[in-house]
């Protein structure tokens, strides 16, 4: 790029080196911590994935036990945070607003103040914040976290008040591992920018939550589920797609800023949903709809390469394991906080203030006019 040339959205600009994840958008390949996403997603616990991002290696058995225990001991929230979450629920604020409020207060009562401790704290407490808000939202008493349950199992337990079955835990864990990190996306870039000022990890994560809330980043899985249900009920996927395209509307769950082929995370989540989704007829209609939609998008918008993205099967999988659709984006954050914090720590290891330039397009040499002469 020549000096002075404008690049909107910073597309194609490299501003950081990272060992955390690598994306090949042309080939449709995602590597997380050196592992193909499919291999990590189906084999790891979420705690192992977070440890991998933090330490650049998988933990030994004893290290994993220590790490799990440490995270579990950081899960609880105080009455001050509960009061904020209750107020958010009473006012029917969106889950992402509640998560932002809770995240900002995540280090209250946490004791030590250092980047790694803050990173562990926010990873541990995100499920508690989301579940506490949801319990208030549905008129139920919040459920205290259990230190004997794994991260994913404890999250489902706090949502429902019942210990989940292993199939649901495995399904959720697959999702959490699949979306834990994904290059320098908008929310991750935000987190790195905040800590580049030598601010704290909690502030970085709070800003990242606000970024993820936007529908152009993490806000679509809930509406995707509504779309899938509408198509299933109509029994006419072709008619649905043609109607949307004729109206000039975007078909949610298709197309991605980075991938020119099918999102590799869609394949991982499809396989998990096929295993853990209880309604076989509905799942069959989802896969049929995908085939119809991809063909019609190629016909309607030749050359655009609008393949299935991560949101499509996220909706199916999270619905299948019992996560309410109102929490889909917040559940995304419950996973991605592992990536945000790992990026924040990586940024601090070799920090330089992130300070891009802008192109000024305003006037010059204006002369001041007193207010009574305007």
pLDDT of residue 340: 98
**Backbone φ, ψ for residue 250 (5° rounding):** -75, 140
pLDDT of residue 3: 56
Who's near 29: CB < 8 A, 6+ residues apart? 22, 23, 36, 264
- Note down the domain range covering 149: 21-184
pLDDT at residue 2, as a whole number: 52
Task: Check: CB of residue 228 under 8 Å from CB of residue 315.
Answer: yes
| CATH number reported for the structural domain that contains residue 135 in this entry | 1.10.580.10
Q: Indicate if the pLDDT at residue 9 is higher than 80.
A: no
What per-residue confidence (pLDDT) applies to 7?
73
Q: Read off the pLDDT of residues 71-82 as tens digits, 9 standing for 90 and up.
A: 999 999 999 999
pLDDT 10s digits, 296-340: 998 888 878 788 999 899 999 999 999 999 999 999 999 999 999
pLDDT of residue 304: 81
Q: Is residue 88 part of a domain?
A: yes
The pLDDT value recorded for residue 14 is 86
Tell me what percent of the residues of the chain surpass a pLDDT of 70: 98
Q: Which pLDDT score is estimated for 305?
A: 79
The neighbour count for residue 109, using CB atoms within 10 Å, is 13
The reported pLDDT for the residue numbered 362 is 94
pLDDT value at 248 more than 70: yes
Angle at CA of residue 211, ends 354 and 94, nearest 5°? 160
How many folded domains does the chain comprise? 1
Tokens representing residue 281 in the block: 């007829």
Sign for the CA dihedral angle at 84, 146, 319, 30 comes to positive
Residue 329 and residue 331: Cα distance in Å, rounded? 5
| Among candidate residues 163, 172, 161, the one with its CA nearest the CA of residue 139 | 161
Tokens matching residue 152? 């994913």
Give the tens place of pLDDT for each residue, 198-240: 999 999 999 999 999 998 888 667 889 999 999 999 999 999 9
Q: Write down the mean pLDDT value for the chain.
A: 93
pLDDT reported for residue 314: 92
Domain contains 124: yes
- The pLDDT, as a whole number, for residue 216 is 82
Contacts of 248 (CB under 8 A, 6+ apart): none
Encoded tokens for 139 = 């008129």
Q: Is the pLDDT of residue 102 over 90?
A: yes
Task: Map the chain to HEC letters.
Answer: CCCCCCCHHHCCCCCCCCCCEEEECCCCEEEECCEEHHHHHHHCCHHHHHHHHHHCCCCCHHHHHHHHHHHHCCCCCCHHHHHHHHHHHHCCCCHHHHHHHHHHCCCCCCCCCCHHHHHHHHHHHHHHHHHHHHHHHCCCCCCCCCCCCCHHHHHHHHHHCCCCCHHHHHHHHHHHHHCCCCCCCHHHHHHHHHHHCCCCHHHHHHHHHHHHCCCCCCCCHHHHHHHHHHHHHHCCHHHHHHHHHHCCCCCCCECCCCCCCCCHHHHHHHHHHHHHCCCHHHHHHHHHHHHHHHHHHHHHCCCCCCCECHHHHHHHHHHHHCCCHHHHHHHHHHHHHHHHHHHHHHHHHCCCCCCCCCCCCCCCCCCCCCHHHC
Provide φ and ψ at 208, rounded to 5°.
-65, -40
On whether residue 85 sits in a domain, the answer given is: yes
In a domain, 81, yes or no: yes
User: How far apart (Å, rounded) are the C-alpha atoms in residues 222 and 137?
Assistant: 17
For the stretch 342-367, pLDDT in tens is 999 999 999 999 998 888 899 999 99
Q: Does 56 map to a domain?
A: yes
Question: Given pLDDT bands bounded at 50, 70 and 90, which one contains residue 157?
Answer: very high
Return the closest-CA partner of residue 122 out of 106, 138, 140, 139. Answer: 106
Q: How far out from the chain centre does Cα 65 lie?
A: 26
Q: Is residue 241 part of a domain?
A: no
Quote the distance between the C-alpha of residue 10 and its chain's center. 21
Q: How many residues does the chain have?
A: 374
Query: What distance lies between CA 251 and its chain's CA centroid?
Result: 20
Taking only the tens place, the pLDDT of each residue in 33-60 is 999 999 999 999 999 999 999 999 999 9
Which residues participate in catalysis according to the annotation?
256, 311
348 found inside a domain: no
pLDDT digits (tens, 9 = 90+) for 79-99: 999 999 999 999 999 999 999
Rounded to an integer, the average pLDDT of 147-153 is 98
In a domain, 356, yes or no: no
pLDDT (0 to 100) of residue 10:
78
Q: Say yes or no to pLDDT of 12 above 90.
A: no
- Rounded CA-CA distance 53/345 in Å is 10
């Amino acid at each position: 790029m020549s000096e002075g040339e404008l690049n909107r959205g910073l597309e194609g600009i490299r501003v950081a080196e990272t060992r955390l994840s690598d994306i090949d958008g042309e080939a449709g390949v995602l590597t997380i911590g050196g592992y193909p996403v499919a291999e990590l997603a189906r084999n790891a616990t979420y705690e192992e994935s977070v440890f991998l991002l933090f330490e650049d290696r998988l933990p030994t058995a004893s290290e994993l036990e220590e790490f799990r225990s440490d995270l579990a001991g950081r899960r609880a929230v105080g009455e001050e945070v509960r009061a904020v979450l209750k107020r958010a629920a009473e006012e029917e604020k969106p889950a992402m607003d509640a998560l932002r409020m809770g995240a900002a207060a995540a280090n209250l009562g946490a004791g030590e103040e250092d980047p790694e401790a803050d990173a562990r704290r926010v990873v541990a407490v995100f499920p508690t914040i989301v579940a506490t808000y949801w319990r208030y939202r549905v008129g139920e008493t919040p459920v205290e976290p259990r230190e004997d349950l794994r991260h994913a199992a404890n999250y489902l337990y706090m949502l429902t008040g019942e210990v989940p079955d292993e199939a649901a835990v495995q399904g959720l864990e697959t999702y959490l591992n699949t979306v834990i990190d994904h290059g320098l996306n908008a929310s991750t870039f935000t987190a790195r920018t905040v800590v580049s000022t030598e601010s704290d990890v909690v502030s970085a994560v709070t800003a990242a939550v606000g970024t993820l809330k936007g529908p152009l980043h993490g806000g679509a899985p809930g509406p995707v589920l509504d779309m899938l249900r509408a198509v299933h009920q109509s029994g006419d996927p072709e008619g649905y797609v043609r109607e949307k395209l004729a109206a000039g509307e975007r078909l949610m769950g298709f197309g991605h800023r980075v991938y020119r082929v099918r999102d590799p995370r869609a394949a991982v989540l499809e396989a998990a949903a096929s295993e853990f989704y209880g309604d076989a007829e509905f799942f069959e209609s989802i896969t049929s709809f995908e085939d119809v939609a991809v063909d019609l998008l190629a016909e309607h918008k030749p050359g655009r390469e609008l393949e299935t993205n991560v949101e499509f099967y996220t909706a199916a999988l999270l619905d299948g394991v019992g996560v309410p659709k109102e929490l889909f984006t917040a559940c995304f954050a419950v996973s991605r906080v592992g990536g945000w914090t790992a990026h924040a720590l990586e940024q601090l290891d070799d920090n330089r203030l992130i300070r891009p330039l802008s192109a000024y397009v305003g006037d010059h040499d204006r002369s001041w006019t007193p207010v009574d002469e305007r």
